[in-house]
Amino acid sequence: MPKTEILEQSRPIFPFAAIVGQEEMKLSLILNVIDPKIGGVMIMGDRGTGKSTTVRALVDLLPEIKVVVNDPFNSDPDDPELMSEEVRERLQKKEQLDVTMRRITMVDLPLGATEDRVCGTIDIEKALTEGVKAFEPGLLAKANRGILYVDEVNLLDDHLVDVLLDSAASGWNTVEREGISISHPARFILVGSGNPEEGELRPQLLDRFGMHAQIGTVKDANLRVKIVEQRASFDESPVDFRKNYNASQEELTLKLGRARDLLKKVEMDYDFRVKISQICSELNVDGLRGDIVTNRASKALTAFEGRVQVTPEDIFRVIPLCLRHRLRKDPLESIDSGDKVRDMFKKVFGYQS
């Protein structure tokens, strides 16, 4: 039996195409697959709303990337910024690199993980006796050029938050011990989920997420029944349930692949870019990350819909997801941050939804 079939039967994943509702969450994840430089997504919502299920369902849709064979860092053979030191040295020596295509990986970061497990460890004894840099890669190495998923991210220990902040900012992970230092690329899409009742995120980490999706419990009774029935069908016979969605999954995968190819051709009017920056300025958004992410997300949505020219409607759909978590919190204000962003958009663009 092929390895993929064994995996399918031992640990089937709920299909992404079967997930009902939660459009903000699904759109945010899809846009990050199309353009990883958007910078990830933070999903906040009530317990039992399918946050983890949806993120893990994304694995089936991830495209393939070119990697160096037997390299623990998923090095890109064409981009020195995404290569390990070893691969770069081999290139400088004019060695022939074996290359293969591999699906983008999704790595789970457990809440109780140690810093060594996340960053990797250096074997000091081997380094001293044999004179080689003996490095055991961690989760950040495995997540390079992939997705790093942290469930209940608001409960993550502060020292691991600092590690993630450093890696997310620089794109590199450095491990130092007893005078020995090893660095490797750690460029990943950071995806986090959490329940706001269990605590707020540190502002520094929240700002690292490109997008912020808020999800709530479905109120419509008919929709709730449909979700319950789907879950029961999946639990009863996961393989058969997945077969019913094979066509939808393949269609979505192809659409994502086309969008990634089309993204380079998508254009946005200069006037729209000015208005996006005006909105960020009017809302007192710190820094320029909000402007950059909104531009990228608008283009990714345009590509996903098979077009090459960004419209105001595209921007209107993504701008609350890109800015709501960057607004300064006013405890006396009752308006939802997403609605505040939409109101400012309508004012600046003169737009009626």
* Active site members: 289
**Beta bridge partner(s), residue 148:** 107, 190
Instruction: Give CA–CA dist 255/306, Å, rounded.
Output: 8
Per-residue burial over 31-43, b if 16 or more Cβ lie within 10 Å, else e, is: bbbbbbebbbbbb
**Of the candidates 106, 66, 124, the residue with the CA atom closest to the CA atom of residue 192:** 106
* Contact in structure between 260 and 104 (CB atoms under 8 Å): no
Local structure of residue 335 (DSSP, 8 states): S
C-alpha to C-alpha distances, 258 to 34, 102, 253, 306, nearest whole angstrom = 9, 18, 9, 8
Alpha carbons 79 and 317: distance in angstroms, whole number: 33
CA distance 205 to 148: 14
Q: Which residue in this structure is represented by tokens 């230092």? A: 181
> What torsion do the CA atoms of 216, 63, 33, 288 make, to the nearest 10 degrees?
160
Q: Where are the beta strands (DSSP E) in the chain?
A: 41-45, 64-68, 99-103, 106-108, 120-122, 135-137, 146-151, 172-177, 180-185, 188-194, 211-215
